[in-house]
Structure formats: C-alpha cells, structure tokens
Amino acid sequence: MNKKISANYHTHTFLCKHAIGNVEDYVKKAISMQYHTIAITDHGPFPKFLQKRLKSRRMSIEQYNEIYLDALQKAKELHKNEICVLSGIEIEYMDELQDKYKEFLSQLDFLVLGQHYIKVDDIYKSIYDELSEDEIHVYAKTVTQAMKSGYFKIIAHPEIFAWNINVWNKLCEEVSNEIIDVAIENNVILEINVNGVRNSFYQRKEFYQNEGINFPYPRREFWEIAKAKNAKVMINDDAHSPNRMNDEYTKYIYDIALKMNLNIVDRIEGIND
Ligand SMILES: [Zn+2]
Ligand SMILES: [Zn+2]
C-alpha cells in the first residue's frame, strides 16, 4: 500500500436527492487527483412499495434504468484510457430485494452493503434510532447473512450499530468480532467511512487524541479489533459531493489508519486487482 490515496469506492450523485454532482463530475475530479480507480456507488433503488414504506431518499427504479446505468456506461467508455471507472450501488440486505441482487450484479461491477435499516417484528427500523440489545443482534445477523450471500464486496460503515452507544461495551465487542470474522471468511472488505467524521467533526472535535471520545463512526474500538485480526480495510469517502473526495477529513483518517498499521487495501479482488 502506498502512502497516497489513489482510489475511492463510495460516492453519491444528485440522483439520491441528498448529494450533488453527476457521474462525470466525480470521474473528472478523480482523474485530476490521479486516482487509479473511481467507483460510483449511489444508494440503490427500492421497489415502489418499499420506497413508499421507508421514504428513503434515493433514486427511483426508472432513474436507475434510464439515467444511472447509462451515465456509468458512458463514463467507462469515455475515460477508459485515463482511469478505471467502476459501477456499483450501495444497498441494504433485505428479504424484499432477494430477487434483485443478481439482476443488479448483471448490470454493475459490484455492490456495497450499506445496512441503514433492520427488520424487527416485520417492521423496518432505522439504524440511527436507539437500538435495544436484541436489535443490535438483528443488525449483526442481517449483515453477516448479507456477507455470506456473496453479493457484496464491501461493507460500508460496519460499526454503525453503535451510533447511539457512547461508551463501547461488551455487546459492541461481541458484535464487532462476529462481523469482522464473517467479513474475513467471505473476503468482504470493511470500510472506514470518512463521512462519519465530516458529519460530526464540529460536535466532537477529537477522534484518537482523547480516550473515550469518538465519532459515531469510525469507532476506534472497532478498528482495533479489525487490526488484531488483520482484516482487509478500505478508507472510503462516502462522498456526497465531488469536492468531498480526498479532503482534510479523508487525510485525517488516512493518517490515523496508517499509524494504526491497519491492513489497508485500495483494490477489490476479482474486480480491479
Ligand atoms: Zn447518502
Ligand atoms: Zn453511502
């Protein structure tokens, strides 16, 4: 691993309705920074009934089919001599999507697992809500099943289950071990998500300097376990704007990850290695 950031595998476009920039904007920005790879991984579309139920801000199936896939194809072709453009989506693992993953994979290079909901008593609950101990186990079960399915190459912000937990505890330790072990067994890359830092930097100024103070994610304790197990780790911007790639927050986290001596990768086996 070199000491320069030269790829990013988590980016969002205007189609998700809470980001700016189109595919071309991200690709141009990545070329200007001399990246070897840029992956576009906007929030994947939900079937209409699910979208209605969850009201999650993301592209529609029509936009996916008519705009997203086309823009990705064009960018790949247009820039093939300058940079590797990969196509993907960030998407949840859900019962309702079981017949969709293969279809997505026939159209895209890879999928990022971004589990923002868990199903409790047949109702979806946001991962940002206060979770009970049982619900945290549901999160772990959902993402481990997802990783075992073989559909996903990267798990985004794997420690998001601890979003509302201020003091890391035994349960966090247990669940983290489980997630990291399954990621290793199934060759899924664990993502250190820089956007967690951007979103909270002004509330919680320190990350590593002060014991006990942490971002909702990344969480130091989680990544220490990943380090101990030598799990594959990727630093991704989760950029919701092209100018959020490789910014001061990315560099801040990258420095910490290097100091921790994490097993940082910037290529995906079987995709662009
Ligand atoms: Zn988003
Ligand atoms: Zn994302």
pLDDT tens digits for range 234-261: 999 999 999 999 998 899 899 989 999 9
Q: CA Rg, the chain, in Å?
A: 18
Ligand at minimal distance from the CA of 91 is 2
- Residue 125's pLDDT is what? 96
CA distance 172 to 10: 25
Using the mean position of ligand 1's atoms as its centre, give its distance from the Cα of residue 236 in Å: 13
Using the mean position of ligand 2's atoms as its centre, give its distance from the Cα of residue 250 in Å: 15
Ligand at minimal distance from the CA of 113 is 2
CB 68 within 8 A of CB 44: no
Using the mean position of ligand 2's atoms as its centre, give its distance from the Cα of residue 210 in Å: 27
Ligand at minimal distance from the CA of 88 is 2
Using the mean position of ligand 2's atoms as its centre, give its distance from the Cα of residue 236 in Å: 9
Ligand at minimal distance from the CA of 41 is 2
DSSP label of 31? H
Q: Mean pLDDT across the stretch 204-231?
A: 74
Ligand at minimal distance from the CA of 40 is 2
Please report where in the chains the tokens 């420690």 appear, as a residue.
159
Specify which of 10-14, 204-208, 220-224 reaches the highest per-range mean pLDDT: 10-14
State yes or no: pLDDT of 207 exceeds 90: no
CB 217 within 8 A of CB 157: yes
CB atoms within 10 A of CB 212: 9
Using the mean position of ligand 2's atoms as its centre, give its distance from the Cα of residue 12 in Å: 7
Using the mean position of ligand 1's atoms as its centre, give its distance from the Cα of residue 235 in Å: 16
Ligand at minimal distance from the CA of 157 is 2
Using the mean position of ligand 1's atoms as its centre, give its distance from the Cα of residue 228 in Å: 30
CB 26 within 8 A of CB 75: no
Using the mean position of ligand 1's atoms as its centre, give its distance from the Cα of residue 176 in Å: 23
Using the mean position of ligand 2's atoms as its centre, give its distance from the Cα of residue 259 in Å: 25
Domain ranges of the chain: 7-264
Ligand at minimal distance from the CA of 196 is 2
pLDDT tens digits for range 120-149: 999 999 999 999 999 999 999 999 999 999
pLDDT tens digits for range 89-112: 999 999 999 999 999 999 999 999
Q: Which alpha helices (DSSP H) does 94-212 contain, by range?
A: 101-107, 133-149, 170-185, 195-200
Tokens representing residue 100 in the block: 């969709």
Ligand at minimal distance from the CA of 195 is 2
Using the mean position of ligand 2's atoms as its centre, give its distance from the Cα of residue 152 in Å: 14
Question: Which residues neighbour ligand 2 (ion) by CB within 5 Å?
Answer: 90, 238
CA distance 46 to 34: 34
CATH tag for 7-264 (out of 3.20.20.140, 1.10.3720.10, 3.40.640.10, 1.10.101.10):
3.20.20.140
CB atoms within 10 A of CB 70: 12
CB 202 within 8 A of CB 235: no
